[in-house]
Structure 1
Amino acid sequence: MAANAINPELVNLTTADPTQVICALDASGNDYDGRLGARISALFVILIVSTAVTFFPVAAKRVRWLKIPLYVYLFARYFGAGVIVATAFIHLLDPAYSEIGPQTCVGMTGRWAQYSWPPAIVLVSVTVIFLLDLGAERYVEAKYGVHHHQGNLEDIATSRAHTHHDSITPTPISHDDQALERKATEPYQAMSEETVDLEKSTLIQENAFRTQFAAFLVLEFGVIFHSVVIGLNLGVVGSEFNTLYPVLVFHQSFEGLGIGARMSAIPFPARYKNWLPWFLCTAYGLTTPIAIAIGLGLRTRYDPNSFTANVVSGILDSISAGILIFTGLVELLAIYFSH
């Protein structure tokens, strides 16, 4: 764009348009410098490592024979929550400022120069997520007449609160096993109070799952937006590749730990618990490798520093930052440490 409107060798800083100067400095073009084999290896390394780390909290919670100590699981869970918050501020909000902030080519051009857009987009994102969460909760209360309450942390972590359901029941209900057996053998007997309580308990569990699962999907989409952008950049980056490669392996692993930790606390019903958590972990692990593959396919044409790329990346990073800020502070830390 404006990069072609200025010759850096003839620039006069007294009369030059600051916007043109900034755009000329930012427009580095396509930096791809080969090393295709190393880039392909990054695809598989990130896939294997990030997926395995994402699996860990889920396996610690659900695979009994691993016998992972409770405090190891809790550490992974709390650490994962911290990673989500850190990702929001350090790996999303800060890059958004460098892409569409006031001192960038985008931020000094046209209507982008009228306002500092990254915090505005973050604020809108947080507000929308909050309203969606509030609306979903009110809808459940109005339709089913039940209220969602969080379970005890140790019960959530160890699933000791319910031996017949691998899930979190907000309001524990005691049952008489003998009475349940009698009802099973006497189908024509009038419905007892225990049956009503059992049905209500099942309904509450189902609603707890839907609420938490919806919040988790919002979190995962926020992380995936960011993962796509950095995957594309890794496929085309130049001299920074040697540094970016190991950094992204650890970065995606830590984010995966946060994803897995959040998922491990969701009370999946029996029909989902044996496959859905593992599927979602795998989906996260595949995101960045797929983006790297796309970046490799566009390695000679994609310019990560172009005006359009900065606009798209800056908006997505700001939206994702808002999602992760709300999820990390409200859905994770506030719940984990309030019991």
Structure 2
Amino acid sequence: MTFDPKNVDLTTADAREIVCYLQLGENEYNGHLPARVSAVFVMLVVSALGVAFPYIGKQMPKLRIPTHVYLFARYFGSGVIISTAFIHLLDPAYSNIGSNSCVGMTGNWSLYPWAPAIMLFSCMSIFAVDVTAQKYVADKYGLEIHTTTIENMITKSAPPATATQTAVPRTDEESSSEYYMAEKIAFAQQFAAFSILEAGIIWHSVFIGLNFGVAGEEWSTLYIVLMFHQAFEGLGIGARLSMIPMPKKYRRWLPWMCIVGYGITTPISMAIGLGVRTTYNSGGYEAASQQENDTRNLTTDWSWGTETYRRCI
């Protein structure tokens, strides 16, 4: 029997059908196509500038950007990423697949509190990757891993000597080999952590862009919020990227690939959202029972775990 919201007997009606009807709506696209199209290009510029600025500044010593500017960009961007995780990922995750949601009352989703379980699994998976990566680097190079300070990365200065250190004469060849090995270890460890963080953010950006393309009356507010979000989240990613000691063979292309990856993801997703603006319904009843909605909910939960762990640890 088809659910009829105008004729409901609360004593016999399926609670899931009532919840799904109340929570899920129709396509809310309300026009303003020229403004939405221009927003794609504005978001491209904002995202690209935000993520590229710290790296370009690091590569151009003539700009003489002080160390504290990098520190501000890194930690302010980290705050934006953490707030995104809690406000834009944690709450929607519970709303979409929590025990009182349409999906959460359906099939196997109703048998377990999957929202916190997926988040916990995400955090522990990233922790396992971290431990495995450090163990791999230590076993491969036979060295104890030390974390380099941000200031030393930027200025490339040597760490201060301690009272237990003894000056041992080294040849230029030994010093060069030791520096190369330390740089290689630092790159492997830090780039792995950076890749996990950027992957989680890019996944999240895909659905942000899609939802922006089909947003209704709230799209103008979402436009401003999204610009701020992209700029400062990009600033945080760019600052972290600029502090990774890149080996020469990667220096010319790898950082730019990461910058382009972040810069174009949201604009492309926005363009796709505009392309399906009259047919895509991110909160529709039909979508909730299909793989598309389940995938979106899973990636939202997973992104929360990766972003929170990487910025808090």
Cα shift readout 1:29-69 (whole Å, capped 9, x = no counterpart): 22222222111111101110121111222233332112223
User: How many angstroms apart in 1 are the aligned matches of 2:75 and 2:196?
Assistant: 19
RMSD of the alignment, in Å? 2.3
Superposition misfits of 4+ residues, deviation over 6 angstroms: 172-176
Partner of residue 148 from structure 2, selected from 140, 147, 151: 151
Contact 1:173 1:201 in 2 (8 A): no
Shift of 1:310: 3.1
Bigger Cα Rg: 1
Matches for 1:233-312 after TM superposition, within 5 Å:
233-305=211-283, 306-307=287-288, 308=290, 309-312=292-295
Shift of 1:274: 4.0
Matches for 1:114-193 after TM superposition, within 5 Å:
114-161=111-158
1:160/1:199 CA distance change after superposition, 3 Å: closer
- Matched AA of 2:299: L
1:173/1:324 CA distance change after superposition, 3 Å: farther
TM-score (norm 2): 0.89
Which residue of the partner structure matches residue 105 of structure 2?
A: 108
Shift of 1:301: 1.8
Q: In structure 2, the residue corresponding to 1:148 is in which secondary structure?
A: coil
User: How many angstroms apart in 2 are the aligned matches of 1:135 and 1:210?
Assistant: 12
Which residue of the partner structure matches residue 165 of structure 1?
A: none
Alignment of 1:320 onto 2:303: yes
- Matched AA of 1:301: T
Matches for 1:18-167 after TM superposition, within 5 Å:
18-161=15-158
Which residue of the partner structure matches residue 13 of structure 2?
A: 16
Q: Which moved more, 1:253-262 or 1:226-235?
A: 253-262
Contact 1:100 1:310 in 2 (8 A): no
1:207/1:173 CA distance change after superposition, 3 Å: farther
Give the total of aligned pairs. Answer: 303
Q: Which moved more, 1:247-256 or 1:316-325?
A: 247-256
- Matched AA of 1:103: N
User: How many angstroms apart in 1 are the aligned matches of 2:58 and 2:167?
Assistant: 24
Contact 1:80 1:257 in 2 (8 A): yes
Partner of residue 177 from structure 2, selected from 196, 199, 202: 199
Cα shift readout 1:215-239 (whole Å, capped 9, x = no counterpart): 1111111000100001011111222
Cα shift readout 1:3-43 (whole Å, capped 9, x = no counterpart): x9322221233442221111112331222222221111111
